[in-house]
Amino acid sequence: MKKLIAIALTLLASQAFAGVVNPDCTPEKAAKSAAAKATVGIGGRCDVKQTVGDSARKAAGVEDKGPIEKKLDDGKPLGK
């Protein structure tokens, strides 16, 4: 029971960063997310679709940057 509560609190705390950080899904993360969703009702952002996409990008050597990294790499100040 204590493990379930710890998992639930961890998932809830991680939801605060859900829109900011790309989860870089792996099969292990997808399995943990599915297990948490089945037991607690709340899962992480990694699912099969996201994991397949991330794995394909890694295999192809494509660097997946978020909006902040893209903005910093274009050489312009953030406000312009």
pLDDT digits (tens, 9 = 90+) for 37-58: 999 988 888 888 888 888 888 8
Q: Which residues of 35-51 are buried (b: 16+ CB within 10 A; e: fewer)?
A: ebeeeeeebbbbeeebb
- For residues 17 and 4, which has the higher predicted lDDT (pLDDT)? 4
Overall average pLDDT of the 20-46 stretch: 84
Mean pLDDT of 11-23: 61
User: What's the pLDDT at 55?
Assistant: 83
Residue scoring higher pLDDT (61 or 20):
61
Q: Is 20 helix (H, G, I), strand (E, B) or coil?
A: coil
Q: What is the pLDDT of residue 66?
A: 60
The two structure tokens encoding residue 78: 């953030």
